[in-house]
Amino acid sequence: MANGTLESTEFKRGPGGRPTREEAARRHGALLTIATRLFLERGLDTVSIDEIAREAGVAKRFIYARYRDKAELFVAAIEHSFADRLEMLHAFEPPQGGAEIGLVELGRKLIGIALEGNALALHRLVVAAAPRFPRLAQILVERNRNRGAGDIARVLNFYADRGEITLDDPQMAAEQFFISVIGIPQRLALLGLREPPEQEERRLATAVGLFLDGCRARGGSRT
């Protein structure tokens, strides 16, 4: 049975009887929300395009006009699920103080995003599904490698412009910072574990300190 929320109103039609752009965008967003829920509930293997279309109240051609296969739809569902959290990262501005203060604040935000419940569930799903869907990992990397890392690089460049750190490769530095900060907390959380807050803060401060020791401008001093 189709989702009642979606089916409570018909497509809003524009000139020529076609759905309006706003209505198509609304249906697309609802489609991705429902696809995410189904993937999380049942896994990527068992959920079919037919079922997603039926639940979302759209025709299969509505899906295939946008995505070649289920792997592309799954990646889009992940991106849709993370959109609000990535907007929070995009809005991050370095606080007053030196690089160490700002990067600890940035690290807290990254940990909050990475350890959110749906984020962990989607991460587990990707790892489980990738061997059976070879294109999945490739699409994820190609479309998303620069999204989060781009905002981290933006913050790192802020401190580089102030002369506190040096960056030979901002993109690589951003990726290294991300892994340094979330690596252990995320691995523990994927196993259903989490360190006490004081230990998590200590680990974060250590990761930031080690990162800064590797790229601090020569002659600079710790804030």
pLDDT (tens digit per residue) in 157-172: 999 999 999 999 999 9
**7-11, 71-75, 98-102 — most confident range:** 98-102
> Are residues 40 and 117 both part of a single domain?
no
Structural domains in the chain (count): 2
Asked if 61 and 86 sit in the same domain, the reply is no
Q: Which tens digits make up the pLDDT trace of 87-145?
A: 989 999 999 999 999 999 999 999 999 999 999 999 999 898 888 888 888 888 888 77
The domain in which residue 60 lies consists of 1-66
**SS3 annotation, the chain:** CCCHHHHCCCCCECHHHCECHHHHHHHHHHHHHHHHHHHHHHCCCCCCHHHHHHHHCCCHHHHHCCCCCHHHHHHHHHHHHHHHHHHHHHCCCCCCCCHHHHHHHHHHHHHHHHCCHHHHHHHHHHHHHCCCCHHHHHHHHHHHHHHHHHHHHHHHHHHHHCCCECCCCHHHHHHHHHHHHHHHHHHHHHCCCCCCHHHHHHHHHHHHHHHHHHHECCCCCCC
Q: Quote the pLDDT of residue 74.
A: 92
Q: Is the pLDDT of residue 23 over 90?
A: no
Q: Tell me, what's the pLDDT at 33?
A: 95
Residue 74 belongs to some domain of the structure: no
For the chain, the average pLDDT equals 87
| Threshold 0.75, pTM exceeds | yes
Question: Do 116 and 213 share a domain, yes or no?
Answer: yes
The pLDDT score that the predictor gives to residue 199 is: 97
